[in-house]
Amino acid sequence: MSINATLIGQMITFTLLVWFTMKQIWPPLIAALEERRSKIADGLAAAEKGQEEMALAEKRAIEKLKAAKEQSADIINLAQKRANEVVEESKLNAKKEGERMIEAAKAQIEQEIAQVKESLRQEVAVLALKAAEQILQKEINKAEHNDIIAKVSNQLGQA
Amino acid sequence: MTTEAHAAEGSTGYIVHHLTPFSVGEGFWTLHLDTLFFSAVLGSLFVLFFKSVAQKATANVPNLTQSFVEMIIEFVDQQVKDSFHGKSELICPLALSIFCWVFLWNFMDLFPVDIIPAVAGMMGIEYMRVVPSTDLNATFALSMSVFCLIIYYNLKIKGIFHFGKELLLHPFNHWLLIPFNILLNFVEYLAKPISLALRLFGNLYAGELIFILIALMPWYIQPLLSFPWAVFHILIITLQAFIFMVLTIVYLSMAHEEH
């Protein structure tokens, strides 16, 4: 149990060990650790950024959705208005058309009445003439009395 | 000093035989070949294992071996960061080397006390002491190296003038007390390597001694005693390696800081 040259040998071994550790072992390991640390830090930062961006995108999407809803409501309103207008217009048109048709029918009726009156008048004139012939038992010259007949038929027409 | 002499002394002989180093040479120029051999082998194991991991070290997902090595590295790095505030290329590798080397020395204590000496005996080597930390030469070699570094950094950081002034005028800043200061500082500086070396040596020597004592018991009692002692020793060997490392860091950081 004495101090001897072993001490020197051990010191040399120790020096070699420390030297080797300093040159070959510590730097690469600590470099790997540092690199991983920065990688993790970068990853965490990227994740945070991504989260922020996602929140932003969500907000933007909500805004866009809101705008789209408003726009669609506008479009629907406009369309409804337009549809109402079209309905009103067509109603008006139909009414006008109906009135026009009624007018036309009335005119036709008038015309037919006039025709019927005319034919009735002539028939009445013929009948009157025949009656007068029978009453007078005498042939009346049609040509001579046309004036009278015309006068009468005119009076009938006025009646 | 022969085997017969020890054998004649019974259990005392057994103990002494176990604690006698395998040495060559005379006087100061004696070499404890077992201490030199085992510490060199253990040092190479440490260096080669760490080197193989360092070569393949990746910043991506590490495998189990790399994680284990990184755990040790980060542990040492944290210890250095906690107590050392200067900047030094040397101190982290130094702390790592000390921690691992001392741990491996101490770990030899957990091998059954008779196995390696028996193998050595078959090879014709009579004495074999396998735990380098039970050799004062080994522990003092470490602490003296640390002491040299303490002196070196004191001189390098503070300069010879400032360091000398500190030795003369600290802790009592008066010229009359210079001799007293010198004495005090001398003891303080000397106490560091001596306490470092003796603490490690004493703990491991005592531990080894108790293992040897247990080995003297009847075989059916041995497991009952050696198992708890070995479990307890797992704590001791780690703790001693840790203490040696931390004190080295603290001493060196003191050398870096001015009073």
The residue extents of the domains of chain B are 3-256
- Its pTM stands at 0.74
Report the alpha-carbon angle A131-A135-A136, nearest 5: 120
What pLDDT digit, counting tens, does each position of B74-132 carry? Answer: 999 999 999 888 778 899 999 999 999 999 999 999 988 888 888 888 888 888 888 99
Rounded to an integer, what distance in angstroms lies between the CA atom of residue B86 and that of residue A141? 160
Q: Do B69 and A28 touch (CB under 8 A)?
A: no
Q: What is the pLDDT of residue B259?
A: 56
The residue extents of the domains of chain A are 7-158
Task: Give SS3 for B19.
Answer: helix
Task: Give SS3 for B27.
Answer: helix
Q: Do B141 and A1 touch (CB under 8 A)?
A: no
Helix ranges (H only) for B56-87 are 64-83
Per residue, the 3-state secondary structure of B210-251, as one string, reads: HHHHHHCCCCCCHHHHHHHHHHHHHHHHHHHHHHHHHHHHHH
Q: Which uninterrupted H or E stretch holds B32?
A: strand B31-32
Does B198 score more than 90 pLDDT?
yes
What pLDDT digit, counting tens, does each position of B225-238 carry? Answer: 989 999 999 999 99
Q: Of B106, B154, B203, B226, which one is the catalytic site residue?
A: B203
Q: Would you call B199 a catalytic residue per the annotation?
A: yes
Rounded to an integer, what distance in angstroms lies between the CA atom of residue B66 and that of residue B57? 7
Chain A partners within 8 Å of B58 (Cβ): 32
Does B172 score more than 50 pLDDT?
yes
In this prediction, residue A1 has a pLDDT band, given cuts at 50, 70 and 90, of: low
Query: Tokens 């009579």 appear where?
Result: B126
Q: Which uninterrupted H or E stretch holds B24?
A: strand B23-24
Predicted ipTM?
Answer: 0.87
Rounded to an integer, what distance in angstroms lies between the CA atom of residue A106 and that of residue A95? 16
